[in-house]
Amino acid sequence: MRVALCIPAYNAEKYLPQLLTSAQKQSIPFHEILVYDDCSTDNTMQVAEEHSATVIKGTNNQGCAFGKNVLANIAQSEWLHFHDADDDLLPNFTKVVNTWIENQGENFEILLLNFDYVDYHTKKLLGKADHDLTALHQDPIKYTIERCIINFGIYKRKSFLTAGGFNTDENVLYNEDNAFHQKLARLGHRFDYMPEITGINYKHIESMSASNQLKCAHANFYVLKEASEKVGNNYPQVIANQLWNCMTILGSFQDWNYVKKCILLLNNLNAKPPSDQNKVVSLIAAISPFYAIWIREKLIRLFKPNLRAHA
């Protein structure tokens, strides 16, 4: 079966050589290696071409979701793998993927893959994806709401295009992977998972998510808003739990306007605060969710100000 490696890239000349070299060293070659250059101001296009990638040059900077959709439409392969330019592939990637396609490719539309989460500068292992296969098979909709699944897997191209690809709405720009997997689950696409480590997801201080935490929280709100509108009647507590997590992040930036937006969704869901909340917070939340978050944040800033260095 044919697999396309699709890489959205913006000012990625520093990272692309490592990724493209690892792609070329796979024991089973990718059928296509495609790079979408999102109007970079550095030598991204030249570096990609030097490593024999096919480059599609954007005319306006429109973000990685748009770039991934362009690559999916251009690709000629049956399966797609989207990979951030600043992450890496392990030598076993295509072997694991092709073995799975041969054995299970007719039974699923999405294969989630496992990876090491590594600090780019210290090379310290920070974690792994480690998805719960039983929970994923049992209820993909619930699972994709509970777990923010990043875009590390392979996707049947026909199913991807039928689903409409990634949401390019600016409101979800920093959470498009999460929105994408929730949409696929709601559409009834079947998910599988391989626990073998096949790649490295690097934590970069300057990465889009790390340097835009508040924007990521805003985007998460809009993803949860869509979930509440589409499946809120079936998963009120699951969505509410994620809204509380979102509110604590928004509160850490003292973005009380978006906290109030979250509370409006909570009221519509008619759900309880998460069971793992502090007892004092839970008691206050029973009266006022807003003041529960507000008081929690004031206490953290008073007694643990080091936790708020980002804000």
Give the pLDDT confidence of 220-275 residue by residue, as tens digits.
999 999 999 999 999 999 999 999 999 999 999 999 999 999 999 999 998 888 77
pTM: 0.92
pLDDT at 140: 97
- pLDDT interval class at 307 (50, 70, 90): confident
According to the model, what pLDDT value does residue 109 have? 97
C-alpha span between 75 and 78 (Å, rounded): 8
Residue 190 has pLDDT above 90, yes or no: yes
Given CA atoms 296, 224, 38, 13 in this order, what sign does their dihedral have?
positive
Q: In the chain, where are the structural domains located?
A: 3-203, 213-308
CATH superfamily, domain at 3-203: Spore Coat Polysaccharide Biosynthesis Protein SpsA; Chain A (3.90.550.10)
Q: Given the structure tokens 């502090």, which residue do they identify?
A: 278
Confidence of residue 304 (pLDDT cuts 50, 70, 90): confident
Q: For residue 301, give both structure tokens.
A: 């800033």
CA distance 237 to 61: 38
**pLDDT at 96 (0 to 100):** 97
- Residue-by-residue DSSP string for 182-244: HHHHHTT--EEEEEEEEEEEEE-TTSTTTT-HHHHHHHHHHHHHHHHHHHTTT-HHHHHHHHH
Q: Token pair of 85, please?
A: 């330019």
For 257, the token pair is 């306007």
Mean pLDDT of the region 11-20? 94
Which of 129 and 276 is assigned the larger pLDDT? 129
At residue 227, φ and ψ (nearest 5 deg) are -60, -40
What does the pLDDT average to over 55-78? Answer: 94
Q: Position 44: which residue type?
A: T
Nearest to 182 by CA among 213, 142, 216: 142
pLDDT band at 206 (very low <50, low <70, confident <90, very high): low
For 38-43, what is the mean pLDDT? 94
What average pLDDT is seen over the chain? 93
